[in-house]
């Protein structure tokens, strides 16, 4: 009996010591304000201010992160019959082409549209694929526009978005509320990440497959999928210098890499027999001082007010010229 009591006391002592050590470590990490959240280190590629990322976005185990208004928009959309759901990245989240397009359609049909904008800054087709499966499918919109292609080919932290999702859905992901959990995650990433070569967040094969998955899911729920190529004002030899290093390893690769991803969107549209709105080609056709350059900010990626107007007009023409989209509003 005494031997058992000593054994139990010894075990409790060990457990207590471990818990006190962990508590002390957690407290120390909080005192020194140590943080390591994967969502921050990935999204910094499009929003370098880490504190802004902490404030404006929250962790989602499937989507990696969402902006703070995402769930409100989604829940509001669930109460309506959605005509068009707009999927994409920051060009969609911060753009206004969605409401401008809706206004053009309304003006030409005389009917009111119900739309929802579900684009989130920094997202790739990996998040888009998960979003389509979990969130968009539940809305069953009449049309869903799919516009990705920038963040997919940006440099990653040495892990693909697929690998990041695995971490987020593992025990490490569930430990992110602890600073000790974040420390262990940082150590794991340091060991697991690719160090010998640049790694895109979503490589070209995955980009193709994610688009196919989104198109098939849209068809399954009875929505008309519309693939959109991501336009820009970039010109070879005149790329924005600040994109080098953080976003692309070699600035000269920017334009040809982005064109390859746009070509994949075009290929998937043909292979799957769905509507393609080729905004990349449409914007490239603009000429003159008031043309393409005026449609984008200095990064050559995000729309100015004029760019949003042009995007809406191009999309309206595309909708009108394709029977699957035209018939929805006729």
The reply to whether 186 and 301 lie within a common domain is no
The reply to whether 273 and 307 lie within a common domain is yes
The reply to whether 183 and 304 lie within a common domain is no
- Asked whether residue 117 is assigned to any structural domain, the reply reads yes
For 11-60, give the DSSP string.
HHHHHHHHHHHHHHHHHHHHHTT----HHHHHHTTT---HHHHHHHEEEE
The reply to whether 238 and 136 lie within a common domain is yes
CA separation, residue 293 to residues 56, 230, 287, 302 (Å): 30, 15, 9, 11
The reply to whether 105 and 244 lie within a common domain is yes
- Asked whether residue 11 is assigned to any structural domain, the reply reads no
Planar angle of CA 132, 136, 138, nearest 5 degrees:
120
Confidence of residue 45 (pLDDT cuts 50, 70, 90): very low
Confidence of residue 289 (pLDDT cuts 50, 70, 90): very low
- Asked whether residue 125 is assigned to any structural domain, the reply reads yes
We report the CATH number of the domain holding residue 224 as 3.40.50.1110
What percentage of the chain carries pLDDT values higher than 90?
59
Q: Which residues pair with 296 in a beta bridge?
A: 303
The reply to whether 166 and 54 lie within a common domain is yes
The reply to whether 116 and 232 lie within a common domain is yes
Please tell me the number of Cα atoms within 13 Å of 176 on its side-chain side: 17
- Asked whether residue 29 is assigned to any structural domain, the reply reads no
Report the pLDDT value the prediction gives residue 10, as an integer from 0 to 100.
67
pLDDT tens profile 106-115: 999 988 999 9
The reply to whether 172 and 126 lie within a common domain is no
The residue from 179, 196, 213 where one domain ends is: 196
- Asked whether residue 19 is assigned to any structural domain, the reply reads no
Confidence of residue 99 (pLDDT cuts 50, 70, 90): very high
- Asked whether residue 8 is assigned to any structural domain, the reply reads no
Among 155, 261, 277, which Cα is nearest to 208's? Answer: 261
Report the pLDDT value the prediction gives residue 253, as an integer from 0 to 100.
94
Residue 63 pLDDT > 70: yes
Cα 226 vs. chain centroid, distance in angstroms?
17
Alpha helices in 119-178 (DSSP H): 125-131, 137-139, 161-168, 171-174
Measured distance CA(146)–CA(176) in Å, rounded: 31
Q: What is the CA radius of gyration of the chain?
A: 23
Number of domains, the chain: 2
The reply to whether 238 and 289 lie within a common domain is yes
The residue from 196, 221, 248 where one domain ends is: 196
Report the pLDDT value the prediction gives residue 249, as an integer from 0 to 100.
87
- Residue 43's domain comprises 34-68+156-196
Measured distance CA(281)–CA(262) in Å, rounded: 9
The residue from 142, 170, 196 where one domain ends is: 196
**Token pair listed for 25:** 């470590």
CA separation, residue 312 to residues 12, 62, 234 (Å): 67, 30, 20
The three-state (H, E, C) secondary structure of 259-284, written as one string = HHHHHHHHHHHHHHCCEEECHHHHHH
The reply to whether 244 and 280 lie within a common domain is yes
Contacts of 93 (CB under 8 A, 6+ apart): 67, 117, 119, 120, 121
- Asked whether residue 26 is assigned to any structural domain, the reply reads no
Q: Indicate the pTM of the whole model.
A: 0.88
Specify whether the CB–CB gap between 60 and 135 falls below 8 A.
Answer: no
Picking from 45-54, 126-135, 187-196, 221-230, which range would have the lowest pLDDT averaged per residue?
Answer: 45-54
- Asked whether residue 160 is assigned to any structural domain, the reply reads yes
The reply to whether 120 and 46 lie within a common domain is no
The reply to whether 179 and 323 lie within a common domain is no
């Amino acid at each position: 009996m005494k031997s058992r009591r000593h054994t139990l006391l010894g075990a409790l002592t060990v457990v207590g010591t471990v818990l006190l050590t962990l508590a002390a470590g957690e407290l120390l990490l909080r005192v020194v304000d140590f943080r390591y959240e994967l969502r921050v280190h990935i999204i910094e590629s499009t929003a370098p201010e880490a504190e802004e990322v902490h404030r404006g976005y929250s962790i989602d185990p499937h989507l990696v992160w969402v902006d703070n208004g995402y769930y409100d928009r989604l829940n509001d959309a669930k109460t309506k019959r959605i005509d068009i759901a707009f999927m994409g990245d920051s060009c969609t989240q911060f753009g206004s082409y969605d409401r401008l397009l809706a206004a053009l359609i309304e003006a030409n049909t005389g009917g009111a549209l119900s739309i929802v904008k579900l684009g989130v800054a920094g997202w790739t087709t990996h998040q888009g694929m998960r979003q389509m499966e979990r969130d968009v499918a539940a809305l069953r919109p009449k049309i869903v526009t799919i516009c990705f292609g920038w963040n997919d080919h940006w440099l990653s932290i040495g892990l693909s978005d697929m690998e990041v999702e695995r971490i987020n859905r593992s025990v490490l992901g569930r430990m992110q509320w602890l600073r000790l959990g974040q420390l262990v995650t940082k150590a794991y990433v340091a060991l697991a990440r690719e160090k010998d070569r640049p790694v895109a967040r979503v490589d070209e094969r995955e980009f193709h497959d994610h688009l196919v998955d989104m198109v098939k899911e849209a068809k399954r729920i009875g929505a008309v999928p519309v693939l959109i190529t991501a336009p820009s004002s970039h010109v070879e030899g005149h790329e924005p210098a600040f994109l080098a290093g953080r976003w692309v390893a070699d600035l000269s690769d920017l334009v040809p890499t982005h064109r390859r991803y746009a070509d994949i969107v075009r290929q998937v549209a043909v292979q799957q027999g769905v509507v393609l709105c080729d905004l990349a080609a449409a914007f490239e056709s603009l000429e003159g001082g008031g043309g393409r350059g005026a449609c984008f900010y200095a990064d050559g990626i995000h729309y100015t007010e004029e760019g949003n107007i042009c995007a809406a007009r191009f999309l309206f023409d595309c909708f009108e010229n394709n029977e699957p989209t035209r018939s929805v509003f006729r």
